[in-house]
Amino acid sequence: MPYPAGRHFLQIPGPTNVPDRVLRAISAPTIDHRGPDFARLTHDLLDNLKSIFRTTGPVVIYPSSGTGAWEAALVNTLSPGDRVLAFETGHFATLWRELATNLGLQVDFVLGDWRHGVDPDVVAERLGKDTGHAVRAVCVVHNETSTGVTSRVADVRAAIDRTGHPALLLVDTVSSLGSIDYRHDEWGVDVTVSCSQKGLMLPPGLGFNALSEKAVRAGATATLPRSYWDWQPILTANQRGFFPYTPPTNLLYGLRESMLLLAEEGLERVFERHTRHAAATRAAVRAWGLEVLCLDEREHSAALTAVLLPAEHDADKVREIILDRYDVSLGTGLGRLAGRVFRIGHLGALNDVSLAGTLAGVHMGLKLAGVPIDPGGIDAALRVLSGS
């Protein structure tokens, strides 16, 4: 393979591009994780994470991927045989359901078409019928990374409240935190699950749980077996600035830096940038004459766009051409969408020109692959980016 000049475009919907400042922060020497400098780092991180999750409650950090943080949310709040209400919004909701089932939970899985988010009316209907309050938790994936559909968590909360049902609300923000507006406290979420490698612009390796008081109380009586994931020893050690086991020190340096970057840009502006990039991407896709997978205008993801190809074209073949010829990585179709869609990630550290470059790579790749497209896609995207 000849040396590919220029920067690789990592435009999958996570892991995302890691900014140079974060990479430099990660490369600092590892320090004693039981020493005073480390304690200061921990206190600083745990304080700042609250503003990212928009909570005043505790945030637990794990050396894990998002899957670990999923498991932690369940084992800390639930007991064997507990009923959980979950929604088939796509591949990741399906994986979380499988994990819950493997843990011995009974999951009521509301089937979906992978083109819509969670319907708040269905939440109200299901919980309204559960007069005995057998359902202990409602699990929602905020941004379904396999489909580019963002569920309306505030409306889900309102639906739960309408029924007066006491179920916990567990929300996966793996691909929304730091990219799409999210409010743990205001939306009455009990456990928010997230991780490092998407909107936080870090490499994979950190998982998070943000906890409500109700979640912590549920933890006191929940009996699913847990040890590594147990919140209590972590919360106790965190008070002194430490962890019950060896923490991923260098990723934590990176987290400190990435939160500084988000604060410098300002979270509101970060969300606006993602929204604008998503609108520009959809404008390109539609002008090319292709279909955006998400079918509800209220639910378009600001973090990624899944593009549905005509049935006679293999989306993976198109991705392969775009990678080989233009050094741009796009997300593959997952689960039942394999070969049908490719996903353009526009989350994390990305500016207008990088997005325009990505879309140019997609445009040229579609043409090389013989997918018939109208030529106006890039112009349509640039009009959105330039606000004209």
Residues interacting with ligand PLP, by CB under 6 A?
Answer: 14, 65-67, 92, 141, 145, 172, 174-175, 195, 204
Distances from the Cα of 376 to the Cαs of 173, 292, 304, 317, 363, in angstroms?
A: 34, 16, 21, 23, 10
d(CA 19, CA 258): 8
Select 174 or 211, whichever has its Cβ closest to ligand PLP.
174
Q: Minimum distance from CB of 209 to ligand PLP (Å)?
A: 13
Q: Minimum distance from CB of 203 to ligand PLP (Å)?
A: 11
CB distance 53 to 192 below 8 Å: yes
Select 174 or 369, whichever has its Cβ closest to ligand PLP.
174
Tell the burial category of 104 from Cβ atoms under 10 Å away from its Cβ (0-12, 13-18, 19+): middle
Select 107 or 385, whichever has its Cβ closest to ligand PLP.
107
Helix (H, G, I), strand (E, B) or coil at 378: helix
Q: CA-based angle 305:307:310, to the nearest 5? A: 170
Q: Minimum distance from CB of 145 to ligand PLP (Å)?
A: 3
Q: Minimum distance from CB of 236 to ligand PLP (Å)?
A: 26
d(CA 22, CA 260): 10
Select 172 or 190, whichever has its Cβ closest to ligand PLP.
172
d(CA 350, CA 220): 42
CB distance 83 to 134 below 8 Å: yes
CB distance 105 to 84 below 8 Å: yes
Select 119 or 172, whichever has its Cβ closest to ligand PLP.
172
Select 195 or 385, whichever has its Cβ closest to ligand PLP.
195
E-assigned strand segments in the chain: 9-11, 59-63, 83-87, 106-110, 135-141, 143-144, 149-150, 168-172, 191-195, 206-211, 291-292, 304-308, 328-330, 341-345
Specify the residue for token string 């998503």: 278
Residues near 29 by beta carbon (within 8 Å), at least 6 away in sequence: none
Select 193 or 321, whichever has its Cβ closest to ligand PLP.
193
Q: Minimum distance from CB of 340 to ligand PLP (Å)?
A: 18
Q: Minimum distance from CB of 142 to ligand PLP (Å)?
A: 8
Q: Minimum distance from CB of 17 to ligand PLP (Å)?
A: 16
Select 274 or 363, whichever has its Cβ closest to ligand PLP.
274
Select 15 or 219, whichever has its Cβ closest to ligand PLP.
15
Task: Cite the DSSP H helix spans in 242-302.
Answer: 249-265, 267-288
Residue nearest to ligand PLP according to CB distances in the complex: 66
Q: Give just the sign of the alpha carbon dihedral 60, 219, 213, 303.
A: positive
Q: Minimum distance from CB of 174 to ligand PLP (Å)?
A: 4
d(CA 254, CA 23): 7
Q: Minimum distance from CB of 92 to ligand PLP (Å)?
A: 4
Q: Minimum distance from CB of 30 to ligand PLP (Å)?
A: 23
Select 117 or 377, whichever has its Cβ closest to ligand PLP.
117
Length reported for the chain: 388
Distances from the Cα of 320 to the Cαs of 226, 365, 380, 388, in angstroms?
A: 42, 9, 25, 33
d(CA 264, CA 37): 24
